A and B are shown apart, each in its own frame.
Chain A
Amino acid sequence: MAAVPEYEKLVRSYLRKRFFRRLSIYILLTIGAFTMLSPFVWMITTSLKHLGDVFSYQKPWWFDWAPTAFVWENYVKAFKVVPFARFYFNSIFVVLLTTFGQVTTSAFAAYAFARLRFPGRDKIFFAYLATMMVPGAVTMIPVFILLQYFGWIDTYKAVILPAMFTAYGTFMLRQFFLTLPRDLEDAAKIDGCGYFRIFWTIVLPLSKPALATLTTFTFMGTWMNFMWPLVALNSHEKFTLPVGLAYFQSLHSTNWPLLMAGSVMMILPILLLFIFNQRYFVEGIKLTGIKG
C-alpha cells in the first residue's frame, strides 16, 4: 500500500477533533436536557400513580419513572374533588378577554404614538414610559381600593379590566410600527384613504409578527398570573386555574397524584401554545429584549 499522503492525515485529524468536539457538546446538551425535563417526567408519572405508590419506600429505582399501573382516573378525580372544569372555564374566559383587550387597545394607541401628530403626544408617551419602571406592587393597592369602591371585587371585571391596558404592549407595538416603511401609508393617504383604513388594511397586516408576539406573551402572562386574581377574587366558582390549584393544594396538600394531574392540565395549553408559536417567542424576545 502506498503511504497515506500528508494532507489526508491532516484532514483525518481535523475530522477526528471535530467529531470529539461535537460529541462532547452533544453529551453536555443531553445532560442539560435531561435535567430540564426530568421534573416534568416525574410530574406526569406521579399523576398516573395510585396514591399509595407515591409513598412506597421499598421500590426498585425505575419505579419512580414508570408507574406500574396507569391510573387515568386521577384526571377525572381532579375534576370532581374541586371544580376544576369551572377554573378552566374562568381562566380561558379571563385570558381571552384580557388578551383581546390588550392587543387591540395597544395597537390603536401604538399607531397614534408612532404615526399621528397631535399636541401632547410626546408628553403622554413619556408618561407611559415612566410608568413601565414602577413595580406592579405600587399600583396594586390603589387599584384594589378603587375596585372595592366600585363594588367590583370578586367579579371577573376586577381581574380583566386592570390587565387590559398596559404601557408595555403599547410601547412594544409602537417600536415595531416605527420600523415599518412609510411609503405605502403615504401613498394611501394621497389616494384619500382615512386613518382607520390605513391602520386596518396596511399597518395591521404588516404587523402580524409583532401582534402574534404580543398576543402570545399576554396570553401566557395572564394564564400564569397568580397574585392579582388571588387578591381580587374570593369565591371558588370565580377562581382562575393558578388560584384554583393553590386552593386545591390547601385542601389536599399531600394527594400528589391528583395535584400533579391538576398541574399537568394547567400546563398543557401553554405547552401547546409554545410548541406552535415558538418562533414568535424567539423573535419577540429579540425584538424587545424585555421579558414578557
Chain B
Amino acid sequence: MKDVFLKDSTKEILAGYSFLLPNLIGFLIFTSIPVVASLILSFMRVDLISTPKVFHFIWFENFKRLFTDVYFWKYSWNTLVLMLAIPFSIAGSLLLALGLNEKLRGVVFFRTLYFLPTICSGVAIYVLWRLVYNSDFGVFNTLIAKFGSLLGLTLRGPNWLTDEAWAKPALIIMSVWQAVGGYNMILYLAALQGVPRDLYEAAEIDGASSWQKFWSITWPQISPTTFFIATMSIIGGFQSGFDQAFIMTGGGPNGSTTTIMYYIFNNFYTWHEMGYAAAISWMLFLIIFSVTLLKWKVFGKLIHY
C-alpha cells in the first residue's frame, strides 16, 4: 500500500502543514510562547504601570521571596485543607455509582439529577450558595433553628462565610455537593460495568456476602479508576478555589479561603506584581508536575484513558 502513496508524499506533507497551521499559530501565540515567556517573567521584576514599563531581571529574588512569604505558605495550606473535599466526594461518587449500577428503573433520571450541580457550576451557583449559607435565613441555619424550636431550644447556626472557623468547612461541603454526582460518578459507573460478572457468580457460589464481594472483587477491580480520579482531582484541586472564594468570601475572612490560585490572581491583577505572580504559577506547576509524575510511574504511560 505504501508504494502507491509514495509519490504523493509532497502533497501529503503540504496537506499536513496546512491542516495543522491554523491551530499551530494560535497554539504558538497563546500557549507555547507564553509558557517560555512566563518562565522568563518569573526571574524578573515587571512594572507595567509606570512609564516607561519596567522589565528588569532580578534572577532568583522572586523565588527567594516565595519561600519566606508567610502568605504563600498560609494559602498553600488553605488549598490543601479545601482539598479535603476530594476524599468525601470520591467516596460519595462511588456510593452513588454503586446504587445506580443496580438494574433499576429510573436510573437515567437519577443520573441526570445528580449531574445537575456539576453542569451548573460557576458564578450562578456560588451566588446561590451565598444565600444557602446566609446566617439569618439560609437553608442550613433555618433548618438548625427549626430543629431547635422542635426541641424547645433557641439554636443558632454559625456565620458560615464570615466566621474563620466555618468558612473552609462551608466551601468543602459545597464542593462535595458539586462534584459528587458529576464526572467521577460517570467514570465509576463505567468501571463498575466493566467488572466481569463471573467473578461475582463464583463468589456467590462460595457464599460471599455483599460486603465481602465489594471489598474482594469490586474495590480491587475498580482501583485503576479510583487512582485516576484521585490524581486528576488532586491536580484540579491545586488549581481551584478562585471562582467560589471570589464570589462567596472574597478570600476571607482573614485570608482563610484564599487559595494559591487566588493569590496568583491578586498578585497579577490586583497588585500588578507580574513577575512574582509568574513565579508562584511555576511553583504551582512544580506541584502539579510531581503529582503527574506519580501518575506516570504507576501507569507507565503518558495519558490514561
* A residues at B contact (CB < 8 Å): 22, 25-26, 28-29, 32-33, 35-40, 42-43, 46, 54-55, 57, 61, 64, 104-106, 108-109, 111-113, 116-119, 121, 124, 127-129, 131, 133-146, 148, 161-162, 164-167, 170-171, 175, 186, 189-190, 194-196, 199, 220, 223-224, 226-227, 230-231, 241-243, 245-246, 249, 256, 259-260, 262-264, 266-267, 270-271, 274-275, 278, 281-282, 285-291
The residue from A195, A199, A266, A281 contacting B115, defined by CB atoms under 8 A apart: A281
Cβ–Cβ contact B23 & A29, under 8 A = no
Chain A residues with CB under 8 Å of B228's CB are: 289
The residue from A230, A270, A291 contacting B236, defined by CB atoms under 8 A apart: A291
The residue from A39, A220, A259 contacting B119, defined by CB atoms under 8 A apart: A220
Interface residue count on the B side (C-beta < 8 Å):
96
Given contacts A118-B12, A138-B34, A287-B305, 9 further A-B contacts (CB under 8 A): A42-B128, A105-B23, A112-B17, A138-B284, A142-B38, A144-B268, A146-B37, A165-B25, A226-B123
A13 to chain B, nearest CB (A): 16
Cβ–Cβ contact B128 & A271, under 8 A = no
Chain B residues with CB under 8 Å of A22's CB are: 102, 104
A236 to chain B, nearest CB (A): 16
Chain A residues with CB under 8 Å of B48's CB are: 145, 148
Cβ–Cβ contact A249 & B186, under 8 A = no
Chain A residues with CB under 8 Å of B71's CB are: none
B7 to chain A, nearest CB (A): 12
Chain B residues with CB under 8 Å of A143's CB are: 30, 34
Q: How far is the CA of A35 from the CA of B187 in the complex (A)?
A: 21
- Whether B24 sits at the interface, judged by CB under 8 Å, is yes
Q: How far is the CA of A262 from the CA of B130 in the complex (A)?
A: 14
The residue from B8, B34, B114 contacting A139, defined by CB atoms under 8 A apart: B34
Q: How far is the CA of A195 from the CA of B5 in the complex (A)?
A: 12
- Whether B289 sits at the interface, judged by CB under 8 Å, is yes
Chain A residues with CB under 8 Å of B282's CB are: 138
27 A-B interface contacts by CB (under 8 A): A25-B104, A33-B110, A38-B139, A64-B142, A109-B22, A109-B24, A112-B15, A112-B16, A113-B20, A116-B12, A117-B13, A128-B27, A133-B285, A134-B285, A138-B34, A138-B278, A138-B285, A145-B48, A195-B12, A226-B246, A227-B265, A259-B131, A271-B119, A271-B120, A278-B115, A285-B186, A286-B187
Closest to A288 in B: B305
Cβ–Cβ contact A274 & B20, under 8 A = no
Closest to A249 in B: B127
Chain A residues with CB under 8 Å of B247's CB are: 246, 249
Cβ–Cβ contact B136 & A285, under 8 A = no
Q: How far is the CA of A285 from the CA of B131 in the complex (A)?
A: 31
A99 to chain B, nearest CB (A): 14
B200 to chain A, nearest CB (A): 15
Given A141-B274, A199-B19, A249-B247, CB of A291 within 8 Å of CB of B9: no
A136 to chain B, nearest CB (A): 7
Chain A residues with CB under 8 Å of B94's CB are: none
Cβ–Cβ contact A109 & B19, under 8 A = yes
Q: How far is the CA of A227 from the CA of B243 in the complex (A)?
A: 7
Q: How far is the CA of A266 from the CA of B123 in the complex (A)?
A: 9
Closest to B131 in A: A256
Lowest 5 A-B CB distances belong to which pairs?
A: A165-B26, A118-B16, A109-B23, A224-B122, A116-B16
Chain A residues with CB under 8 Å of B142's CB are: 64
Q: How far is the CA of A195 from the CA of B288 in the complex (A)?
A: 39
**Residues of chain B from 10 to 50 with CB closer than 8 A to chain A in the complex:** 11-13, 15-17, 19-20, 22-27, 29-35, 37-38, 41, 46, 48
Closest to A254 in B: B134
Chain A residues with CB under 8 Å of B131's CB are: 42-43, 46, 256, 259-260
Given A29-B99, A116-B19, A286-B190, CB of A133 within 8 Å of CB of B104: no
- Whether B212 sits at the interface, judged by CB under 8 Å, is no
Chain B residues with CB under 8 Å of A29's CB are: 96, 99-100, 110
B245 to chain A, nearest CB (A): 11
Interface 1/0 per residue, B83-107 and A, CB below 8 Å: 0000000000000100110101000
Chain B residues with CB under 8 Å of A288's CB are: 305
Cβ–Cβ contact A227 & B242, under 8 A = yes
Cβ–Cβ contact A142 & B34, under 8 A = yes
B33 to chain A, nearest CB (A): 8
Cβ–Cβ contact A286 & B186, under 8 A = yes
- Whether B132 sits at the interface, judged by CB under 8 Å, is yes
Q: How far is the CA of A170 from the CA of B247 in the complex (A)?
A: 32
Cβ–Cβ contact B139 & A39, under 8 A = yes
The residue from A61, A141, A259, A291 contacting B41, defined by CB atoms under 8 A apart: A141
Q: How far is the CA of A112 from the CA of B18 in the complex (A)?
A: 9
Closest to A144 in B: B268
